[in-house]
């Protein structure tokens, strides 16, 4: 029987470019899997799974070992510990102060106001799906959207690939009052996106869908899109270049984030091959956000 008021955590710390592979080691076992920076330098990430009861150490260890073997890297230490749920929730709120990015003001339920006049408020609690707005990648996307909303007053439709908590989708919906597709590979993220859309009063504008890629029908049937955000990782973004370029409407804007500065050219090169041009970049060290035009 589970201990009342407690949960379990299992985690590994790996190089940023290996985080996706190790995330798969937890998939299907953990109730929630999250990834976050382990150090301010941005070169290592922690992949963490949370469990309602003690996780299967032997199976997890085997999965971690297989992931390391497939990458040809040393096996990282697997840390498993019991965590008090009450403390975790409290710490999540404490670590989630309000955030300002241009006109966007992101806050949780624990912030009751007063709110900045003229701000576009986005209510999102730090919870299951990735994305509280505090990561530099999300901040770069919000700044890019804010800047674009001043220059472009209307859009027909938008797309948020890898939506997470749907912060960017909600921001687009509120800035332009246009229909937005919020797509994610994680079914938990899709549920959280729908919940957050309702909390922010934009349910009619946000269509949250489960999708393993931007070439799937759930995403393609909504295109072409005037604005696309994709806050993911460097290699998946490079692989998506042809599909995202095709989904972007003529005169549209594509915002790419989720990668370090030294991966910038790796991400940018394939998009240039598909006819997109670099319009602007935001560098929030060591992370980069690229704004591309078609």
| pLDDT tens digits along 19-56 | 888 888 888 888 777 777 777 666 888 888 888 888 89
Q: How is the chain split into domains, by residue range?
A: 6-92, 96-293
Which residue do the tokens 């472009």 mark? 152
Q: Is the pLDDT of residue 115 over 50?
A: yes
For residue 112, give Cα distances in angstroms to 25, 42, 94, 123: 39, 32, 14, 11
**pTM, rounded to two decimals:** 0.71
Same fold, 6-92 and 96-293: no
Query: So what's the pLDDT on residue 109?
Result: 76
Mean pLDDT, all residues of the chain: 87
Which of 4-8, 85-89, 133-137 has the highest average model confidence (pLDDT)? Answer: 133-137
Say which residue the tokens 């729908």 belong to.
194
Residue 92 has pLDDT above 80, yes or no: no
pLDDT (tens digit, 9 = 90+) per residue, 185-212?
Answer: 989 889 999 999 999 999 999 999 999 8
229-245 pLDDT tens trace: 999 989 999 999 999 99
pLDDT given at position 128: 44
In this prediction, residue 44 carries a pLDDT of 86
pLDDT the model gives residue 16? 82
First to last CA, the chain: 57
- Could you tell me where the DSSP H helices lie in the chain? 19-26, 57-71, 85-94, 136-151, 167-176, 187-199, 217-220, 234-239, 241-247, 264-273
CATH number of 6-92: 3.30.70.100
CATH assignment, 96-293: 3.40.50.150
pLDDT band, very low/low/confident/very high, at 2 (cuts 50, 70, 90): very low
Check residues 263 and 109 and name the one with the higher pLDDT. 263
Q: Identify the pLDDT of residue 3.
A: 43
């Amino acid at each position: 029987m589970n201990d009342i008021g407690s949960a379990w955590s299992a985690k590994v710390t790996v190089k940023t470019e290996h985080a996706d592979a190790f995330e798969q080691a937890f998939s299907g076992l953990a109730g929630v899997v999250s990834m976050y920076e382990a150090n301010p330098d941005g070169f290592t990430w922690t992949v963490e799974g949370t469990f309602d009861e003690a996780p299967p150490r032997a199976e997890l260890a085997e999965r971690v070992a297989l992931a390391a073997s497939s990458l040809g890297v040393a096996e990282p230490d697997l840390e498993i510990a019991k965590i008090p749920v009450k403390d975790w929730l409290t710490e999540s709120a404490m670590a989630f102060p309000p955030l300002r990015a241009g006109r966007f003001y992101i806050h949780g339920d624990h912030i009751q106001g007063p709110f900045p006049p003229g701000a576009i408020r986005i209510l999102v609690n730090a919870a299951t799906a990735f994305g509280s707005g505090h990561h530099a990648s999300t901040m770069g996307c919000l700044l890019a959207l804010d800047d674009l909303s001043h220059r472009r007053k209307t859009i027909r439709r938008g797309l948020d690939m890898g939506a997470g908590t749907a912060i960017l989708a909600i921001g687009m919906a509120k800035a332009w009052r246009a229909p937005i597709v919020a797509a994610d590979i994680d079914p938990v993220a899709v549920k959280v996106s729908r919940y957050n859309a309702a909390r922010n009063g934009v349910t009619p504008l946000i269509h949250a869908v489960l999708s393993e890629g931007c070439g799937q029908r759930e995403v393609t049937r909504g295109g072409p899109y005037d604005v696309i955000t994709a806050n993911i990782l460097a290699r998946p973004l490079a692989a998506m270049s042809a599909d995202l370029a095709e989904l972007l409407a003529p005169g549209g804007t594509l915002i790419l984030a989720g990668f370090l500065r030294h991966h910038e050219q790796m991400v940018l090169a394939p998009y240039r091959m598909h006819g997109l041009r670099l319009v602007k970049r935001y560098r929030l060290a060591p992370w980069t956000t690229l704004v591309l035009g078609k």
